[in-house]
Amino acid sequence: MPHRNISYRQLFVVLALSCASYGNYLGHDELERRQIDPGALKTAYDYIVVGGGQSGLVIANRLSEDPTSEPSHMLVLVIEYGTFDNNPAQLDPTSGEKYPPGDLFNVTAVPQPGIGNRTGTVYAASVVGGGSTINGMLFERGSAEDYDNWERLGNSGWGFSQLLPYFKKSTKFNTPVDPAVVAFGNITWDPSVYGTDGPIQATYPPWVWPGTKIQLKAFNEVGVPTQFEAAGGKSYNAYWVPNNVNRTNYRSYARSGYYDPVKSRPNLSLLLNYRVNEVLFSKAKHAHSARIQARGTPNGAPTITVGANTEIVLCAGWLHTPQILQRSGIGPKALLTAAGIPIISDLPGVGSNLQDHPPAEIRFSYETDVFPNPTSSAQTNATFAAWVQDEWTQHRSGPLSIPTGNNIGAIPLTTMNPTGYKAIIAKALAQTPAAYLPKTYTAEQLAGFVEQRKILTASYQSPTNGIFEVPFRGSGSTALCLEKPMSRGTVTLQTTDLYAEPIIDFNTNINPVDVDLTISAVRFYRTWMAAPSMQQLSPAEVSPGTNLTTDAELSTWVSTSMGTSTAHSCGTAAMMPQKLGGVVSPELLVYGVTGLSVGDISMIPLIPATHTCATVYAISEKAADLIKARAASGYP
Ligand SMILES: Cc1cc2nc3c(=O)[nH]c(=O)nc-3n(C[C@H](O)[C@H](O)[C@H](O)COP(=O)(O)OP(=O)(O)OC[C@H]3O[C@@H](n4cnc5c(N)ncnc54)[C@H](O)[C@@H]3O)c2cc1C
Ligand SMILES: *[C@@H]1O[C@H](CO)[C@@H](O)[C@H](O)[C@H]1NC(C)=O
Ligand SMILES: *[C@@H]1O[C@H](CO)[C@@H](O)[C@H](O)[C@H]1NC(C)=O
Ligand SMILES: *[C@@H]1O[C@H](CO)[C@@H](O)[C@H](O)[C@H]1NC(C)=O
Ligand SMILES: *[C@@H]1O[C@H](CO)[C@@H](O)[C@H](O)[C@H]1NC(C)=O
Ligand SMILES: *[C@@H]1O[C@H](CO)[C@@H](O)[C@H](O)[C@H]1NC(C)=O
Ligand SMILES: *[C@@H]1O[C@H](CO)[C@@H](O)[C@H](O)[C@H]1NC(C)=O
Ligand SMILES: *[C@@H]1O[C@H](CO)[C@@H](O)[C@H](O)[C@H]1NC(C)=O
User: 281: CA distance to ligand 1 center in Å?
Assistant: 27
Does ligand 2 come within 6 angstroms of the Cβ of 74?
Answer: yes
pLDDT of residue 71: 58
pLDDT of residue 15: 29
For 383: left if phi > 0, alpha if psi spans -120 to 50, otherwise beta; the answer is: alpha
Counting Cα atoms < 13 Å in the Cβ hemisphere of 30 gives 12
Mean pLDDT along residues 434-444: 98
Does ligand 4 come within 6 angstroms of the Cβ of 110?
Answer: no
pLDDT of residue 8: 28
Q: What is the pLDDT of residues 116-163, one digit of tens each?
A: 999 999 999 999 999 999 999 999 999 999 999 999 999 999 999 999
User: 63: CA distance to ligand 2 center in Å?
Assistant: 9
Does ligand 3 come within 6 angstroms of the Cβ of 101?
Answer: yes
Per-residue pLDDT band for 74 (boundaries 50, 70, 90) equals confident
525, with CB counted inside 10 A (0-12, 13-18, 19+), is buried
Per-residue pLDDT band for 275 (boundaries 50, 70, 90) equals very high
Residue 32 has pLDDT above 90, yes or no: no
Residue with CA closest to ligand 6 atom 7: 250
Mean pLDDT along residues 237-264: 97
With contact defined as beta carbons under 8 Å apart, do 203 and 194 qualify? no
Residue with CA closest to ligand 5 atom 8: 186
SS (H, E, C) 62-80: HHCCCCCCCCCCCCEEEEC
Per-residue pLDDT band for 36 (boundaries 50, 70, 90) equals confident
Does ligand 1 come within 6 angstroms of the Cβ of 327?
Answer: no
* Whole-number Cα distances in Å, 541 to 292, 364, 367, 575, 631: 53, 4, 10, 42, 59
pLDDT of residue 633: 84
Residue with CA closest to ligand 6 atom 8: 248
Q: Ligand 4 test: best mutation among 115, 117, 508, most atoms within 8 Å of CB?
A: 117
374, with CB counted inside 10 A (0-12, 13-18, 19+), is middle
What residues are paired with 135 via a beta bridge?
none
Active site residue 395: no
Residue with CA closest to ligand 7 atom 6: 384
Among candidate residues 621, 632, 615, 636, the one with its CA nearest the CA of residue 588: 621
Residue 17 has pLDDT above 80, yes or no: no
Counting Cα atoms < 13 Å in the Cβ hemisphere of 410 gives 30
Q: Provide, rounded to the nearest whole percent, the portion of the chain with pLDDT above 90.
A: 91
Residue 37 has pLDDT above 90, yes or no: no
Q: What is the pLDDT of residues 601-621, one digit of tens each?
A: 999 999 999 999 999 999 999
Does ligand 4 come within 6 angstroms of the Cβ of 113?
Answer: yes
Residue 24 has pLDDT above 90, yes or no: no
Mean pLDDT along residues 73-84: 94
Q: What is the pLDDT of residues 276-288, one digit of tens each?
A: 999 999 999 999 9
34 against 452, higher pLDDT: 452
DSSP string of 264-300, one letter each residue: T-TTEEEE-SEEEEEEEE-TT-BEEEEEEEETTPPTT
Check residue 119 and report its DSSP letter: P
User: 247: CA distance to ligand 6 center in Å?
Assistant: 7
Among candidate residues 631, 621, 633, 626, the one with its CA nearest the CA of residue 155: 626
Residue 16 has pLDDT above 50, yes or no: no
For the chain, the average pLDDT equals 93
Residue 33 has pLDDT above 70, yes or no: no
Does ligand 4 come within 6 angstroms of the Cβ of 117?
Answer: yes
Active site residue 611: yes
208 is an annotated ligand-binding site residue: no
Residue 592 has pLDDT above 50, yes or no: yes
pLDDT of residue 28: 39
Residue 34 has pLDDT above 90, yes or no: no
Q: Cα(541)–Cα(547) distance, rounded to whole angstroms?
A: 10
Per-residue pLDDT band for 26 (boundaries 50, 70, 90) equals very low
pLDDT of residue 207: 96
Residue with CA closest to ligand 2 atom 14: 73
Residue 12 has pLDDT above 50, yes or no: no
276 is an annotated ligand-binding site residue: yes
